[in-house]
Chain A
Amino acid sequence: MKKIILILITALFSIVLSQAQVQSGEITYKVKSLDESQNKKDTTRVKSSAEKEAKQHLSDIYSKRDRAIPHLRFDLVFNPTEALFQHKESIEIDKGPDLDMGLAFVGGKGVFYTNLPEDLNIHQREYLKLVRIQSKVSDLKWQIKNEFKTIAGYQCQKAKTNIYVNDIQPEKEVTVWFANELPFSFGPMGMVGLPGMILGFERGKYFIYAKDIKLSKHNKKITSPKKGEKVTMDYIKDVDEKIKKNPVKYYNAEE
């Protein structure tokens, strides 16, 4: 018994020691759908040709999304204080699925940057114009739950917080899974500020999860996005309201 305890303590100590030496890393995330029913055919009786075309239009959009989701890859690079998360471009499928459509549904457009010492989260993206949406890391209020699951070989703990999604859902509750074993406070799409790396993010009908994790003992320089007007979340809320009032005016404006 003593021998087993000694082995366990040694193993635990070596894990802590090895993680302490990690100075940077790169995580690849993939996406899968959480809602199996979303692909069911709509059997609602159509009343007009316009309605029929509307349904056809949506059906086409969903098909594009479904073709794109399995091909989406995101990359998170990090060091102890900064992280950068963005869609991983792939030359091989440039002429294949409409990845942009997939990104629109998953919410992964743009570049997400985090700087912990500065308590700063930046989301650089097109939203009528190129902007850098700034917020505080400490603005995310987390509730840590006593639930666990394994992702990419790491035991992950559940946590919840509320985020602004759009004008209809200004305070949406989302769930993440973080690994205490990886003591870095980063994660996908601006989900940061927990005591361990977030390896799973349940966003709406999609699950963004870590597929490949590479850790390094060498520090890696990370640069913040420089282009785009600095704005706060109030800008996004304002644009959402404007679009709601006059959708025609903002159709096909810079995405």
Chain B
Amino acid sequence: MLSLVMLIGVSFAGNAEQQKNTIAFSDPCDQCNYMLQHILEGLKEEHDMKGVEANNIAMPIYYTCRRECYSQ
């Protein structure tokens, strides 16, 4: 499962420009949005991480949501 997530993450990252232009991201569902904010704030508050880095680490939650939640 982890490999799958990473594979998707890599595949998205590899087409960063393309995805920006061709995929219209929706806001994540309430549950995933909660997780995203939770992770973002945790990285910034508990780990003193800068905004850009925290965002890049937390954002794959959007992909998980899009695949797992919005597709259903």
CB of B53 within 8 A of CB of A255, answer: yes
Q: CA A8 – CA B25 in complex, angstroms?
A: 71
CB of B52 within 8 A of CB of A127, answer: yes
- Partner of B51 from the list A58, A204, A244 (CB cut-off 8 Å) is A244
The answer to whether the Cβ of A107 comes within 8 Å of any Cβ in the partner chain is yes
Distance between B25 CB and nearest chain A CB, rounded to angstroms: 5
Q: CA A247 – CA B13 in complex, angstroms?
A: 15
Q: A54-B64, A247-B58 are in contact. Are A105 and B16 (CB under 8 A)?
A: no
Q: CA A175 – CA B64 in complex, angstroms?
A: 39
CB of A50 within 8 A of CB of B32, answer: yes
Q: CA A52 – CA B2 in complex, angstroms?
A: 10
Residues in chain A near residue B57, CB distance under 8 A: 58, 61, 104
Q: CA A51 – CA B28 in complex, angstroms?
A: 13
CB of A248 within 8 A of CB of B62, answer: yes
5 intermolecular pairs with C-beta atoms under 8 Å apart = A61-B57, A166-B54, A167-B44, A255-B52, A255-B53
> In chain B between 11 and 69, which residues have their CB closer than 8 angstroms to a CB of chain A?
13, 16, 25, 31-32, 35-36, 39-41, 44-62, 64-65, 68-69
CB of A243 within 8 A of CB of B2, answer: no
Encoded as 1 (CB less than 8 Å from any B CB) or 0, chain A from 126 to 159 comes to 1110000000000000000000000000000000
CB of A166 within 8 A of CB of B5, answer: no
**Chain A, Cβ-Cβ closest to B26:** A248
- Partner of B35 from the list A49, A50, A105, A166 (CB cut-off 8 Å) is A50
CB of A247 within 8 A of CB of B36, answer: yes
Interface size of A by CB at 8 A reads 41
Residues in chain B near residue A61, CB distance under 8 A: 57
CB of A53 within 8 A of CB of B64, answer: yes
The answer to whether the Cβ of B7 comes within 8 Å of any Cβ in the partner chain is no
CB of B31 within 8 A of CB of A50, answer: yes
Find the residue from A49, A126, A243, A252 having the highest chain B CB count within 10 A: A252
CB of A248 within 8 A of CB of B64, answer: no
CB of B54 within 8 A of CB of A248, answer: no
Q: CA A82 – CA B39 in complex, angstroms?
A: 39
The answer to whether the Cβ of A48 comes within 8 Å of any Cβ in the partner chain is yes
Q: CA A251 – CA B67 in complex, angstroms?
A: 18
CB of A252 within 8 A of CB of B51, answer: no
Residues in chain B near residue A168, CB distance under 8 A: 41, 44-45
- Partner of A56 from the list B2, B36, B59 (CB cut-off 8 Å) is B2
